[in-house]
Structure 1
């Protein structure tokens, strides 16, 4: 999924925000944004997905400002915040009539914690969304297909998105392991810090590595570009019976691959609300094969 002008403007604003956050001199700001603008006008970006473009821009900024750990504090903040809620979330799921539905509702709601797609992530908004998880509506036909495919599959690759959110992924995976004891689950996280995306260190800190195999994808792109990730992870995805890919960045980098991937995310920007003809923070569950077939 190639980036459009809205994505490019968003990527540039992210660079501006980081430069402001680090209070750089006007000279450095001018130099960095000049290089960013030069990159955004180059022919290279024509076939790039927005997350790949974002990774390039972050690299340009990092050369002058060293922003690799720019999101370290909010990542830790939301990891700890969601860990503090884990027992209550699990208890709510266990008391629900449909544990699978309740768990996936929590998992998709956690996709709100996205410092890449949004300028302002608010704890109050997150709390409201989580409180209303029972009202989360996902495509019933797609939900039934996912349920059936999981019961028949032997291997699942679960591709995560953000820190904090990964705690709710952990809860969902716990439920999947309860319901599908035959299923071999492998979790894929980002290879290096980028925005507030979850890395192996995040997975380890929230206890996810204690319940399932977790593998870094070998790239700092806030998505899963198949031609750039570690070949072992590419083989893992290629050979899985099905994948669940969380977040807009994974959709943008994987859409069009034609694999059996279920995308799960909240629409958080104008591009996605227009594409899926819905309102902001609406949850989406779509399968890659049926998107391609209906295109």
Structure 2
């Protein structure tokens, strides 16, 4: 996905939010360095690649190794506290409708995002998503793949959201009535915004899923892990029967690949326009 001018403004807002607890002089220093980088950057680069650089600057200048650590821990805790309520929603459904409901819940969890916005109402979002049709609904194709496939590749997005992802994968297993031979759960190799890292995934029980292994993609730091656009990530995709990509960042970085189900909420006008939907829409989009 190509960079849009609105992304430049969004990066500056992210820098301000990430440093909100620092003194004003340090925040100003960080923001100036971010702005200088953006002025000199190649604007033909994808937004996810620029985001990596912006947040590297924030970490480097602030001295904070993970500015969103407390935010991620709180997000996981809030989502875990909602588990009984989410499972009650599933238990009200007939068996044949449970997987679709779990998929919509996984999309609702995508609202936990401190990139485009730091203001959201999780419970209200769950209610809204449950009561609205998907703007793009390729669920039938997704269900067929879930039932027939043996190797699942799942690109995680944000902390907190991964609780909803765990419930969705558990429901896949219930629908299949057998485990996948392999679940490859993709996390970030290092901190960037509130994106999921290995520690976050293990804290909500993703590591307890049957036949799960973790793969890492880069947060932009050199020699950390393969980037989303790398040949190695292309190989991950080719080696799995079904590929699910959660969230806007993964959509930005993986939209040029094929055989991927994109599941997300369109939380900014750029992503909404790219998908051809309204802001706030929920989407299951299969790119063949």
Alignment deviations for residues 100-140 of structure 1 (CA, whole Å, 9 cap, x no partner): 1110010000000000121x323xx2111223443142267
The answer to whether structure 1 residue 255 and structure 2 residue 252 are counterparts is no
Q: Distance in 2 between matches of 1:214 and 1:130?
A: 29
1:203-242, aligned counterparts within 5 Å? Answer: 203-212=201-210, 213-221=212-220, 225-228=227-230, 231=232, 234-242=234-242
Mark the CA change 1:95 to 1:24 in structure 2 (over 3 Å): closer, same or farther. Answer: same
Counterpart of 1:156 in 2: which secondary structure?
strand
**5+ long unaligned stretches in structure 1:** 290-295
**TM-score, structure 2 normalization:** 0.88
**Runs of 4 or more above 4 Å deviation:** 28-31
The residue number in structure 2 matching 1:166 is 162
Q: CA deviation at 1:24?
A: 4.1
How far off is 1:211 after superposition? 1.2
Indicate the residue corresponding to 2:139 in structure 1.
Answer: 143
How far apart are 1:182 and its partner, in Å?
A: 5.1
Any gaps of 5 or more consecutive residues in structure 2?
none
Whole-Å separation in 1 of the counterparts to 2:236 and 2:266: 27
Superposition deviation, residue 262 in structure 1: 0.4
Correspondence list, 1:58-207, <5 A: 58-97=55-94, 98-118=97-117, 120-122=118-120, 125-138=121-134, 142-180=138-176, 181=178, 183=180, 184-207=182-205
Alpha carbons of structure 1 residues 140 and 48: separation in structure 2 relative to 1, 3 Å: closer
Structure that is richer in helix per residue: 1
Counterparts in 2 of 1:111 and 1:221: CA distance versus 1, 3 Å: farther
Does the C-alpha gap of structure 1 residues 38 and 107 become closer, same or farther in structure 2, counting only changes over 3 Å? same
Q: Distance in 1 between matches of 2:81 and 2:267?
A: 25
Checking the alignment, whether the CA contact within 8 Å between 2:136 and 2:285 is kept in structure 1 is no
CA distance in 2 between partners of 1:150 and 1:103 (Å): 13
Contact residue 166 and residue 203 of structure 1 kept, 8 A: yes
The Cα of 1:39 is off from its aligned counterpart by 2.2
Instruction: Kindly report the root-mean-square deviation, in angstroms, between the aligned alpha carbons of the 2 structures.
Output: 2.3
